[in-house]
Amino acid sequence: MRLFLFATLLGGNLFGGSIQRCQAYVHDVRVAHYEQFGVDYPYQDGVGQLVQESGCRNVLSYDGVGSEGLPQITYRLWQKPLSDHGVKSIKAIPDQLKAQAIIMKSVYDKKYGLWVTYQTYNGGGLVSKEIARAGVENWEKAKANCRRGQSCFTYPSGKKECVSNCEINYDYSVKVWKYGQQYSLYKSVKWRYW
């Protein structure tokens, strides 16, 4: 996400052609997510996540923490659970996609819709506290109860711009869902996104 924001702020064209690039990974994303969640999981959201994270490019992020690959994973933060699942590295794309699904499964909370899971993947567990403050699992009400700081970026020209972390995190789940719809073959009746 931070890579996307940075590229957007710099006016870059990081995601040009991402629909075609991402199409090459649909099958592998589906298999990885089915292994973690079952065959009725809406894998297209996992593809949408790759669009949002990297435009389906195998890149190292500008986030300063070492996020890498299509799903922008910081391996050192996830090394133990990923290693326990047989993912010893995320240098290869198949390992990245497997790691993406493993992490998504680890942050999934059955009491919430998938939008919360995607936001947790992106910005940590604060979304659960925001829902608690809102008193209801509702994207708009949770966003209204968001109390996060800002992230600041500097353009090559030296101009600095700051963006609300609430905007960054709450836009994330919307964009994942929107991008995922381009890869949807069916609508899951078991898994609720919103």
Give a yes or no: residue 62 inside a domain. yes
- The domain total for the chain is 1
Give the model's pLDDT for residue 140: 98
Give a yes or no: residue 171 inside a domain. yes
pTM of the model: 0.87
Give the model's pLDDT for residue 7: 41
Distance CA 42, CA 30 (A): 8
3-state secondary structure 99-161: HHHHHHHHHCCCCCCHHHHHHHHHHCCHHHHHHHHHCCCCHHHHHHCCCCCEEEEECCCCCEE
Distance CA 167, CA 163 (A): 7
Give a yes or no: residue 89 inside a domain. yes
**Residue-by-residue pLDDT tens, the chain, 194 positions:** 444 444 433 333 445 577 789 999 999 999 999 999 999 999 999 999 999 999 999 999 877 788 999 999 999 999 999 999 999 999 999 999 999 999 999 999 999 999 999 999 999 999 999 999 999 999 999 999 999 999 888 878 888 989 999 999 999 999 999 999 999 887 888 999 99
Give a yes or no: residue 188 inside a domain. no
HSE value, Cβ hemisphere, 13 Å, CA-based, for 34? 10
What residues make up the domain containing 59? 2-181
Give the model's pLDDT for residue 16: 59
Give a yes or no: residue 186 inside a domain. no
Task: Tell me if 87 sits within 8 A of 104, measured CB to CB.
Answer: no
Give the model's pLDDT for residue 4: 43
Give a yes or no: residue 140 inside a domain. yes
Give the model's pLDDT for residue 17: 74
The C-alpha R_g of the chain, in whole angstroms, comes to 16
Distance CA 26, CA 9 (A): 28
Q: Whose CA is closest to 116, among 65, 64, 174?
A: 174
Q: Angle, nearest 10°, between helix axes 26-37 and 93-107?
A: 40
Distance CA 42, CA 80 (A): 27
Distance CA 194, CA 191 (A): 10
Distance CA 94, CA 32 (A): 9
Distance CA 8, CA 107 (A): 27
Query: Cβ contacts of residue 92 below 8 Å, gap of 6+?
Result: none
Give a yes or no: residue 119 inside a domain. yes
